[in-house]
Structure 1
Amino acid sequence: MSSTSGADREPVRVLVVDDQELFRRGLVALLASEPGIEVIGEATNGIEGTERAAASAPDVVLLDVRMPKQTGLEACVAIKEAVPSANIIMLTVSDEEADLYDAVKAGAMGYLLKDSSIDQVAQAIRVVADGQSLISPSMAVKLMEEFKQMSRPDRSPVPGPKLTDRELEVLGLVAKGLNNREIAKRLFISENTVKNHVRNILEKLQAHSRMEAVMYAVRQKLLNVD
């Protein structure tokens, strides 16, 4: 039985924040039939979403990028401040690289396009609730291209926190989109050991998420992505 199946653990508590009522209601209805996922509320804008997150402390928040009154990126920062334990997935029509980078820097752990299937959204919720990052495949490709540009040889290194060789190895695999289980298999170590390495990396780099850690490490020349 999968570790994410309903009998093994408490359901993942989800808050859906989107100003498009038809999309929001449809998503809530579809998620209601997903095992191990419980929608505990919905909101129509970032301000309302932040208030509801603060009141209900959801495990995962699905957050649209472009909304009135307060953007999803602004709400992402506000929700992380109000509920540090909340894991945020940006769910959007935007495939602009700038929105993806800003979302990662704001603390989002997932970034999905709205044309994703309900199975992809549900899987992202489970993965992100487990402390891992997930980005739409098409956006992950764009992110890797940006990493390559950021790690150009002509960029000068900037002194920063020192990661161990193993931590750099783990972070390099995170940058390639591997999850904890895949990294453990690749490096012949346990999944718990991978989680410990990731936790140490986030502490050293003072990063909110795995992808933010990758962006920082590449920018500071701690990690070379080829």
Structure 2
Amino acid sequence: MGAPVRVVLVDDHEMILAGLQAMLAGFAGRVRVVGQAGNAADATRLVTMLRPDVVLLDVRLGPESGLDLCRALTGTVPEARVVFLSVYDDEQYVFEALRAGAGGYLLKRVDGPELVRRLEEVAQGETVVDPTLAGRMAVTAARLTRGEFWPGANRGLTQRESEVLSLLVGGLSNKAIAARLVLSEETVKSHLRALYRKLEVADRSAAIAVALREGLFR
């Protein structure tokens, strides 16, 4: 057997970090947790210093974006592969994660043996996706291949971000968008931050202007 996969854990919930530590402790010969962080700044410092094989990262880090952190880490420490461990089972998050440079996307219901196996695969250069998401991803990928794009897909918007932008153009407030899409206001704000970045704008009025100018919504 080779050396254990060296892993840094990143999650803004201490209970999740403790649970992962306990889960992986039983596989010490295959995986070794070398550090943990609860925010993007600490994670960047740790990963830069420790140079782990894998960073196990949540999509959301409180008000911060795990996707943004992934982009930063893959740019500065490319040898440390990022695997997302998330509660979000929407295939759009998977596509976003892979576009951000991640080597994998798993759901938090994964058990210990499966998690260890996936971490080993990623450390060996493979890309892994939770099996429960694979089928839905294939359907979405087929739609994209056939050219069935949603508005804004050519700018990198996920389907959910496109829906949020559509409601933004329709004049709805964050609270109204959240109610319409059955999301929390914080989740809506997260989608807005992401679509602002992709459209290269700073606020909702500029995002609406881009959407109208490019004919995304009429």
Q: CA RMSD in A?
A: 1.5
Map Cα deviations across residues 9-43 of structure 1 (whole Å, 9 max, x no partner).
Answer: 11110000001111111101221221221100000
The answer for the alignment partner of 1:82 in structure 2 is 76
Structure 1 pair 69–47 and aligned structure 2 pair: CA distance change class (3 A) = farther
Q: Secondary structure at the match of 1:58?
A: coil
- 1:47 alignment partner AA: A
1:22 partnered with 2:40: no
- 2:52 alignment partner AA: P
1:10 partnered with 2:24: no
Q: Secondary structure at the match of 1:95?
A: coil
* Structure 2: tracts of 5 or more residues without a match: 150-218
Map Cα deviations across residues 159-201 of structure 1 (whole Å, 9 max, x no partner).
Answer: xxxxxxxxxxxxxxxxxxxxxxxxxxxxxxxxxxxxxxxxxxx
Q: Secondary structure at the match of 1:9?
A: coil
The answer for the alignment partner of 2:97 in structure 1 is 103
Is the 8 Å Cα contact of residues 59 and 84 (structure 2) preserved in structure 1?
Answer: yes
Structure 1 pair 145–57 and aligned structure 2 pair: CA distance change class (3 A) = same
- 2:50 alignment partner AA: S
Q: Tell me how far apart the structure 1 counterparts of residues 22 and 83 of structure 2 sit (CA, whole Å).
A: 18
- 1:66 alignment partner AA: R
Structure 1 pair 153–15 and aligned structure 2 pair: CA distance change class (3 A) = closer
Q: Tell me the TM-score normalized by structure 2.
A: 0.65
Stretches of 4+ aligned residues off by more than 4 angstroms: none
Higher-Rg structure is 2
The answer for the alignment partner of 1:38 in structure 2 is 32
Q: Secondary structure at the match of 1:132?
A: coil
Q: Tell me the TM-score normalized by structure 1.
A: 0.62
Q: Secondary structure at the match of 1:107?
A: coil
1:123 partnered with 2:117: yes
Q: Identity across aligned pairs (percent)?
A: 36
Is the 8 Å Cα contact of residues 47 and 69 (structure 1) preserved in structure 2?
Answer: no
Matches within 5 A, 1:1-226: 8-34=1-27, 35-152=29-146
Map Cα deviations across residues 126-152 of structure 1 (whole Å, 9 max, x no partner).
Answer: 010010011011111111011110121
- 1:36 alignment partner AA: R
